[in-house]
Structure 1
Amino acid sequence: MNKPIRAVSIFCLLLFLALALNATYLQYYHANALNDRVGNGRVATATFSRDRGAIMVGRTAIAESVKSKDQYKVQRTYPQPFMYAPVTGWYTFGNETGLERTQNSYLSGEDDSLFVNRLVDLVNGNATKGANVLTTIDPAAQQAAFDGLRALGADVQGAVVAIEPSTGKVLAMVSLPTYNPNRLADHNFKKASAYATQLSKLKSQPLLNRAVQTTLAPGSTFKVVTASAAVQTGRYNANTLVPAGPTYTLPQSHSVVHNDVISGCSSPKIPLIQAMEFSCNTAFAPLAVAVGASAMHRQAEGFGFNQQYFDDLPAQATSRYPAGLDPPNTALSGFGQGSVTASPLQMAMVTAGIANDGVVMKPYLVNSLQSPTSFETLKSTNPEQLAQATSSSTASEVTKMMVATVQSGTATPAAIPGIQVAGKTGTAQSGLKNPDGSEVPPYAWFVGFAPAQSPKVAVCVMLQHVDQPTDEIHGGTLGGPIAKSVMEAVLNPHG
């Protein structure tokens, strides 16, 4: 072979070798990176066309894929959109929220646990199917929470969370105002984008899941935490006399604290159970100071404050109880004002912790994952203890106070005939101003559990805005009936 031909042959060989190396690199080493590229339209289209698994409540799908007649082959639909939107979120081209996001690898069929299913589908020439996500939601409780909030008017902003105290299962999670995820999952992306823009501009923030993404002053529902901290010191019980009276001046300050309920709080000293029963701010403010900022902070963190603990939905807001509060702010924290903020999920956990003998369980929304064809359980969530917030005896003492609050105090609207209910009301000042200079109406809260001696459900109701006169916004009158209906739905599911 002469020299020019040999040179050309070697050059061609090198070209083939470079081509083989590049193909190997692209198809093996760099394949995942290429698949994950935002601009990879082919992969995105294929993923979007995949038959995603269903999100289930009991035997009912609240998110599922159905055949479509366009290029994407399947359409994601939400049969009960408004009630379950905060739970499911939505799935669209390159974007997921809610369970659609956190469980995406299972729903899309891409998780490693579904490798065998993908292999079988490949051999049989079938399209890959995703796993089903079975939630912990109790449909009767969810319906009761949704109906209860809606009954307060079209402009209501609020949330309801119900938990099974012994496990941490989320039995209900509702947030209003809500939205229609079907319109956000529409294959007409121009229409879907316009709807998303419309929702994002509303002051009521319907895309916000207020159950886990909103933190506000919890008001007097936080007295459950204060009472727990006090009893846990060993110096207090339900019958211990504590300072009260019509007013209380904050330490190192000229600011004066008043009571919403006058009749039960006017004596200079009253039993702690009476202070809880009539929600006496003038008792719980000095009680928090007497317990001390460190003990209050420690007790709040025992219930989950200042922590992230909910994995099943994205963007959990952290409930706050700051460390090192000075005496005035410690006093304000005693009745859920000042620097304290909490989400409805957090206050439901406080209530569930008291119901569960002082043990706080980690909340979860995903009960199990189910294979797409054989419907076998791939994975189940096991209940997990988050903290021992109080001793069993402390929880029992606080329960006694909460039962009295429902029987003859501010929480009587939550009473259920024949069942002993424990509860606590809260009405928290927002501390905000409207554009016209007037004060933003207070927030109304209610927490409770039932039956008091063998709890099956703990509930928190939070009302951020209700179109009612300010003097008619109270946690007991507005939140109590909702909590009652949710508890009844769990305890008596067949009516």
Structure 2
Amino acid sequence: MAVPTSEEMVSDQLKDFNVEVKDTSQCSATKEDEKSILSFFSFLRSEKNEEIPPRVYDFESVSKLLNEHKLNPSPVHTIYDNNDTLTFKTSIDTALQNYGTRLMQRYRPRYGAIVAIDPVTGRVLALVSYTNEGEKDLGDHLYLSSIFPAASVFKAVTAAAAIENGGLTPLSRIVHTGRNHSLYRSQLAPQLSNFTEFTLRRAFALSVNPAFGRLALFKMDEGALNEYGNRFGYNQTVPFELSAEASEMFPTDCDFTIAQLASGYNRETSLSPLLGALMASAISENGRMPYPTIVDSVVNVSSDSTVYHRESKTWLNPVDSVTAFYLRDLMESVPASGTARRSFRVIRQSPRFNVFQYGGKTGNMRKRGIGRTDWFVGFTRHPYNTDQRLAVAVVTTHTPYWTVQSSFIASELKRIFMRNAQERQRESELERELIATGPR
């Protein structure tokens, strides 16, 4: 399609005002003048009371504006784009956002980040980034950063591959020898003379490194581990309005490095809190990983019209529904009797939360420059009410003297979320009851 020249453009615009120009060369314009010409005729149209339709925004243009203005998470933002005044309404849950921020400020790790997502829709409910005073500035958006080693959180990927590719279930028996949290070549020998048997569920709950190394070597096809890592979003950019770093897998070239990747016993496999929350979302929602979004809608204040509205879409389908069910079983064992059991004591002992399913995966690994990294990635879900579900990723880093465990921060966020969800449900039921009975 031919692009109109400046003369043709001027002539065409003048026809709208019943002005005939026989010699268009008399109104020639340079390329630099084209914007001025269009602005001039927009002014003439406004003088004639002709309504100019507002610009419609798409995901890419909204993302560009958010990154240009470097906005921090809050429920509403106002941005000026050329002549438009735009109100961005976000999905941030003020209660979760503020509580997550207070927890970080109370316990003061070296660095910390929180991402909370509605796993059904992909709406981002909280984004918290924390840097302790005196620490090197690593950026304002640590929740989008992949500087953190994934550690044992990667065992969720290994478990998915073992279930789908290797045919295992949570009750499948696996053997291991030596300490749970070490990884030596002797622990990976094809035949062990002295060994302990664990179910997959128990090995996951206690985060037994050698057991997961052996899964990758003896219970799944070659290349399956990398395939499932890619399925869960590794080595690719998360499609989010804010620019997020890609999480990368540890490269493997021999049996021992495969075992390192499978167990999370390496510093090279990275994970961003955003991807961690999305992994938990997929496990919560039967294998469906949503597109994460933070902008619900954009309103043009001048025209009082909605120029953008989010859509709920699926980004990836890393596992099928049966595998997701088994993974939830594994993750539920972690706060029940595994590495996060102390952090979740209050929730376990409170009858009001019995209806909820909740689980996750812990992980920790030292990394030079940021300290001991501590993870919790998990979900909370009402089995029948999809409005009462949450996926969360919490990461903190520490000096040798820890101030808090990420699993505790996650348990507190889940407790507040479940309590607020129950209160909203009661208020809704009361309102329906009042409507049904009518005034007395």
- Is TM > 0.5 for Structure 1 vs Structure 2? yes
**8 Å CA contact retained: 1:157, 1:466:** yes
Q: Is the 8 A contact 1:161 1:170 kept in 2?
A: yes
In structure 2, the residue matched to 1:270 is: 198
Q: Quick one: which of 312, 333, 337 aligns to 2:261? A: 333
Kindly state the Cα deviation for residue 492 of structure 1 after the two structures are TM-superposed: 4.2
Q: For the Cα contact (< 8 Å) 1:292–1:330, is it kept in 2?
A: no
1:301–1:410 Cα change, 3 Å:
same
| Superposition deviation, residue 159 in structure 1 | 0.3
1:447 is matched with 377
1:298 aligned partner: 227
Aligned to 1:143: 98
Query: Does 1:166 find its partner at 2:120?
Result: yes
Distance 2:304 2:35 in 1: 34
CA distance in 2, matches of 1:333, 1:364: 30
Report if aligned partners of 2:290, 2:312 keep a CA contact under 8 Å in 1.
yes
Q: Which residue of 1 aligns with 2:366?
A: 430
1:458 to 391, 395, 398: 391
Contact kept? 2:85, 2:302, Cα under 8 Å: no
Paired residues of 2:359 and 2:379 also in contact (CA < 8 A): yes
Letter aligned with residue 223 of structure 1: K
**Residue aligning to 1:107:** 79
Work out the CA distance in 2 between the residues paired with 1:217 and 1:453. 32
CA distance in 1, matches of 2:315, 2:365: 30
Structure 1 unaligned residues grouped into runs of 5+: 1-16, 33-87, 111-127, 179-198, 258-265, 435-439
Q: What is the RMSD computed on CA atoms of the aligned residues? A: 3.5
Asked which structure has the greater RCO (Cα within 8 Å, sep 6+), the reply is 2
Q: Equivalents in 1 of 2:417, 2:285: separation in Å?
A: 16
Is 1:236 the counterpart of 2:187? The answer is no
- Residue number in structure 2 paired with 1:280: 208
Equivalent residues in 2 for 1:342-357, closer than 5 Å:
342-357=271-286
Query: In the superposition, relative to structure 1, how do residues 151 and 310 fare at CA in structure 2: closer, same or farther (>3 Å)?
Result: farther
Distance 1:292 1:475 in 2: 33
Given that residues 96 and 413 in structure 2 are in contact (C-alpha distance below 8 angstroms), is that contact kept between their aligned partners in structure 1?
A: no
* 2:335 counterpart SS class: helix
For the residue of structure 2 that corresponds to 1:320, the secondary structure is coil
Q: Amino acid of the residue matched to residue 421 of structure 2?
A: L
Specify the code of the residue in structure 2 equivalent to 1:171. Answer: L
1:15-26 correspondence to structure 2 within 5 Å: 24-26=30-32
Q: 2:34: which partner in 1?
A: 28
Letter of the 1:278 counterpart: L
1:442 is paired with a residue of what secondary structure?
Answer: strand
Structure 2 contact 107–404 (Cα < 8 Å) conserved: no
Structural mapping, 1:37-186, within 5 Å: 96-98=69-71, 107-110=79-82, 128-153=83-108, 155-177=109-131
Aligned partner of 2:156 in structure 1 is 224
Residue 165 of structure 1 aligns to a residue whose secondary structure is coil
Query: How far has the Cα of 1:168 moved from its partner?
Result: 1.1
Q: 2:411 aligns with which of 474, 477, 481?
A: 481
**Conserved? CA contact 2:66–2:241, under 8 Å:** no
Partner residue of 1:7?
A: none
Q: Is the contact made by 2:339 and 2:362 (CA closer than 8 Å) also made in structure 1? A: no
Q: Distance in 2 between matches of 1:28 and 1:213?
A: 41
Q: Secondary structure at the match of 2:139?
A: coil
Partner of 1:187: none
Decide whether the 8 Å contact of 1:138 with 1:172 is kept in 2.
Answer: yes
Partner SS state of residue 319, structure 1: coil
Q: Which residue pairs with 1:215 in the alignment?
A: 147
The alpha-carbon deviation at position 466 of structure 1 amounts to 3.2
Q: 1:367 to 1:489 in 2, by over 3 A?
A: farther
Local SS of the residue matching 1:108: strand
Distance in 2, matches of 1:29 and 1:379, equals: 25
C-alpha spacing 1:355/1:325, structure 2 compared with 1 (3 Å): farther
Q: Count matched residues.
A: 356
CA contact (8 A) 2:240 2:291 kept: no
Structure 2 residue runs of 5 or longer lacking an equivalent are 1-22, 39-64, 189-193, 427-440
Match of 1:317 in 2: 245
TM-score, normalised to structure 1's length?
A: 0.64
Q: Are residues 162 and 29 of structure 1, via their aligned partners in 2, closer, same or farther at CA, if it must alter by over 3 Å?
A: closer
TM-score, length of structure 2 as denominator length: 0.71
Q: For 1:336-381, what per-residue CA distance to the aligned partner results, in whole angstroms no more than 9, with x for missing partners?
A: 2323111111111111110010111111111111121454322211
The CA distance in 1 between the partners of 2:288 and 2:263, in whole Å, is 23
Give runs of aligned pairs for residues 414-425 of structure 1, distance below 5 A: 414=344, 416=347, 417=350, 418-419=353-354, 420-425=356-361
Q: Secondary structure at the match of 1:352?
A: helix
CA positional deviation for 1:319: 0.2
Structure 2 contact 331–361 (Cα < 8 Å) conserved? no
Letter in 2 for 1:304: G
| Displacement of 1:25 | 4.4
Q: Partners in 1 of 2:207 and 2:378 — Cα distance?
A: 15
Residue correspondence of structure 1 range 198-209 to structure 2 within 5 A: 203-205=135-137, 207-209=139-141
* Contact 2:165/2:221, CA 8 A, preserved across alignment: no
1:403/1:452 contact within 8 Å kept: no
Q: 1:311-352: per-residue Cα shift (whole Å, max 9, x none)? A: 3113x1110125654321221112223231111111111111
Partners of 1:235 and 1:428 in 2: how far apart? 28
Q: 1:142 to 1:377 in 2, by over 3 A?
A: same
Measure how far apart 1:487 and its partner are: 3.6
- Identity between Structure 1 and Structure 2 (%): 22
Q: How big is each residue's C-alpha offset from its partner over 1:220-255, in whole Å with a ceiling of 9 and x where there is no partner?
A: 22221111111111520000001223348868x57x
Query: Separation in 2 of the partners of 1:288 and 1:490?
Result: 41
Letter in 2 for 1:149: M
Aligned mates of 1:225, 1:97 — CA distance in 2? 33
Query: 1 CA distance for matches of 2:416 and 2:258?
Result: 33
Helix, strand or coil for the counterpart of 1:429? strand
